[in-house]
Amino acid sequence: MSELTSPLQPFIVRQSGVLSELELKSLIQLYQPIIGHRAVNLYLLLLQQPVNEQKMSQRRVHSYLFPYVEGALGTIDEARLKLEAVGLLHTYKEARVGTVHPTLLYDIQYPLLLEDFVANPYLSNALINQLGDLQFFEILKQWEVPSIELAEFEEVSVSFETIFSTNHTDYQHQIDEMLKGRTLQQHSTSQPQRQASEFFDYALFLRKLMSAHVDHSAFDNRLKQEVLALHTIYNYDETALVALILKHYDAKEKQVDYEQLRVTAAKAKQSMKSDLSADTMLQESKTSADVSGRTALKQQFPQLQDKEIEIALLCEQVSPLAMLTQIKRDKNGFVSAQEQLYIQNIAQLTSLPQSVQSFLVYYLLVIKKRTDFQKGESERVANEWQQQHLDSPAKVISYIHQQMKVKQVQQKQAGRIQPYRKQQPKKIEPQPYWMKQQSQDQIQSTEKTTQSEAELRNQLGQLFNEGSEK
């Protein structure tokens, strides 16, 4: 995948001019959150290379870029791959055999504006994952053009035919012939995946796969080619192809078995005996994938309860910000700007997988019953989990159980162990004779008082009986 092997490797840039104001706005607001500032820096650096009449720059070696790029060759290569992934750059390698350092041609593509950007499922989903739905909505509002109040103004614009005569010869066919085989100067744009067929909605197909919790890493060019081939040959629609993909999708490996996919597609079309509709196949395939994932977790972590396994599976499918948004919504609250920043800080500071970051949100707000996602506590817990090499929600849950057991054992041991106290004999001070005599007199007087009280009660009882007999 990496074609950049040496600082001495030459490169040429082809570009069609500077960015417009809207294109620059798109690059910063829409692309930079996905690819990072280093990739944007390389893009602008390549775009500023002087070009000749053929829009080609002078041949230079990559070390020429080092003073302007942080991290030198590795940074350039990583940034180049990110630019290619989002469609901002096309790279071509010199095909001449025997060249030690083949020249790379960088063909600059211009940023998509918002409408085309949002229509692309790869770019729009990647941006939402980075920014969150609230900030993404704020960007949409910044691009919105205020409508003209029709109550105050009415349109009086004229059409082309009103001003110019249309009674001349139609030269459109001749113009088309002249343009054949020619590439004209323009701001060319490129997308990671374009609409594949006039009769097949590839964006709809991807959205259905996303709703079925298929990992984004499976959405590569191979998937697109296979899907379009099955659509062309067997005339499968979007829903039927989603069902077939899910049937041969390995959730653990995050891969599709394309060989079995083709076999199943051919048999299903030939035999036509299946009574299952496409929607039923989709539901069964999704259920089968969920069951297989649940079974695998249960075998690997038998100590976990069913509810804990469900939470672990949920965290595998939901981003940290989406988890925070849903929990806050359930609590009748909202996600603050500071909380969004703390979520991004966790992603940048730690090497924890996204699923573990999602469980961190669940752990603090649901298990610990915190009102908000706090910076200090979240970083402390994330740091502890990273040091323990916890790379899945199931491992984190098991670790929490272990910590609770250790704490319970420590509490029991603390209750059993009594603090050692040396029993000191009580010191009895000698009493003088007159105090002893006084104590004996008090005891005797108490005994006499007790006896006199008993005699008094007997006398009262006798008097009461004598009175009743009379």
Tell me what pLDDT residue 467 has.
47
Mean pLDDT over the full length of the chain: 78
If one looks up domain 10-130 in CATH, what number appears?
1.10.10
Taking CA atoms, 416 is separated from 127, 178, 411, 422, 423, in Å, by: 57, 97, 9, 18, 19
- pLDDT above 60: residue 280: no
Tell me what pLDDT residue 282 has.
42
- pLDDT above 50: residue 348: yes
Tell me what pLDDT residue 276 has.
42
Tell me what pLDDT residue 54 has.
81
Note the pLDDT tens digit of each residue in 177-201: 776 766 555 556 666 644 445 567 7
Domain definitions of the chain by residue range: 10-130, 202-300, 306-410
Q: Is the pTM of this model over 0.75?
A: no
Question: How many CA atoms lie less than 13 Å away from 361 in the CB half-sphere?
Answer: 28
Tell me what pLDDT residue 274 has.
45
Tell me what pLDDT residue 80 has.
92
Q: What is the DSSP string of 297-339?
A: HHHH-TTS-HHHHHHHHHHHHS-HHHHHHHHHHHTT----HHH
List CB contacts of 346: < 8 A, sequence separation 6 or more.
320, 352, 357, 360, 378, 379, 382
Share of the chain above pLDDT 70, in %: 74
- pLDDT above 60: residue 402: yes
Note the pLDDT tens digit of each residue in 251-271: 878 888 887 888 788 777 655
Strand 104-108, strand 10-14: pairing: parallel
Distance between CA atoms of residues 113 and 27, nearest Å: 9
Mean pLDDT of 332-348: 85
Tell me what pLDDT residue 417 has.
61
Contact 213, 287 (CB under 8 A): no
| Both structure tokens of 461 | 């009882």
Tell me which long-range contacts 376-382 makes (C-beta under 8 A, separation of at least 24): 378/342, 378/346, 379/345, 379/346, 379/349, 382/346, 382/349, 382/350, 382/352, 382/357
Tell me what pLDDT residue 307 has.
81
Query: Model confidence at 291, in pLDDT bands (50, 70, 90)?
Result: low
Evaluated on CA atoms 312, 122, 217, 264, the torsion sign reads: positive
Note the pLDDT tens digit of each residue in 11-51: 999 988 888 889 999 999 999 999 999 999 999 999 989 88
